[in-house]
A and B are shown apart, each in its own frame.
Chain A
């Protein structure tokens, strides 16, 4: 009887998820109308500093262990926040570049495809990095260095600029976004 209850509950959960997704699919086009309002600023330099192993080593050697653990937890919490923002921006860029992939101009389509791939990779890194950073908060001694996120974010930035220049050649770099 317990198995039946669990199976019925799981089935109902799956069904509600599917109905919710069907609604989300119908309104997906509307969500693209105002992407600007959802972009969050990310300071890559600050992020690099937060996940820099040398910086961590410096703090470890110069601070008392209790103080180091407290500060390290704060730093990792901030890093999680940065990664979440970068992943959030990547999600918006996937949606924006998706349209560019179907462009009739091969250079624009290629740049858009690269941007989509890069943004997806960044979200994949974020999926790996965030749990590891939380683990680092529980065990402040463990070494975590999600530098690939910063590199991927920088590459994504460059691709957005390139895509903007290809789509709006007369409006300069600012037209990228």
Chain B
């Protein structure tokens, strides 16, 4: 077994071991009830990897059966990641009832716009693999990456404009997903035109996923941030303005 083989297996399996720890941590802290989709996604990743590992070690090896299972797993993972994004949106806007309407509008508008872009990109892209199933899988994966990174960036920009506070856990999940989606987008685009080999693609994607699992572990382990009350230290001249304004209102 060469070093690259060992590294490849490490990058494949180590994140899954960490995800098992993550699942246990989530159950212990009751986070699986707050983030059910993320919990399902994490569990699914562990199960999928187990199944793929068994197939690869069986007499099928990395043959057609393996790639069928891999394609199905990729499609299911991408679908569940959309569920997580929806979960993040609802988590976020539940705290701010005034933004439920604009938030819903943003989610719908961004999804439609990004879907049009993603489908356009997928249709105009050439297929470099002789296997139809793999071509479709990669095309769908690219569409999913464009949609997911776009939706997450929209959520980040929206929250930035409205100065909304993120809970550590929600921020961590969104950050990990966003990083994974953006790297996957760049790599799949480069792979499409043969700029990177399949091996480099696998290493980068698996390495990124490893980092994302560490990000999720870090943020989910963090305690909830308590924002200090600082309503009283404004300078006097501002108080005068506000008090004058109040008196004028009261005199109406």
Contact = CB atoms under 8 A, between A and B. Distances in A.
A120 B230 contact: no
Nearest to A175: B232
Given A17-B156, A99-B227, A167-B229, A123 B186 contact: no
Contact of B96 (A22, A91, A120): A120
A176 B189 contact: no
B227 A14 contact: no
Interface string A18-47: 100110110011001111100101001000
B182 A94 contact: no
Contacts of B153: 14, 17-18
A164 B153 CA distance: 35
B238 to A, nearest CB: 5
B252 to A, nearest CB: 10
B171 interface: yes
Interface majority SS (helix, strand, loop, mixed), chain A: helix
A177 B231 CA distance: 5
Interface stretch (A1-9, A61-69, A75-83, A134-142): A1-9
B234 A177 contact: yes
A124 interface: yes
Contacts of A36: 233-235, 238
Given A14-B181, A117-B98, A173-B246, 9 more contacts: A11-B186, A12-B182, A14-B178, A17-B153, A25-B166, A95-B227, A98-B227, A120-B162, A123-B162
Interface of B: 96-99, 102, 121, 124-125, 142, 146, 149, 152-153, 156, 160-166, 171, 175, 178-179, 181-183, 185-186, 189-190, 192-193, 195, 225, 227-235, 237-239, 241-243, 245-246, 249
Interface of A: 1, 3-4, 7-8, 10-12, 14-15, 17-18, 21-22, 24-25, 28-29, 32-36, 39, 41, 44, 91-92, 94-96, 98-100, 116-118, 120-121, 123-124, 127, 154, 157-158, 160-161, 163-164, 167-168, 173-177
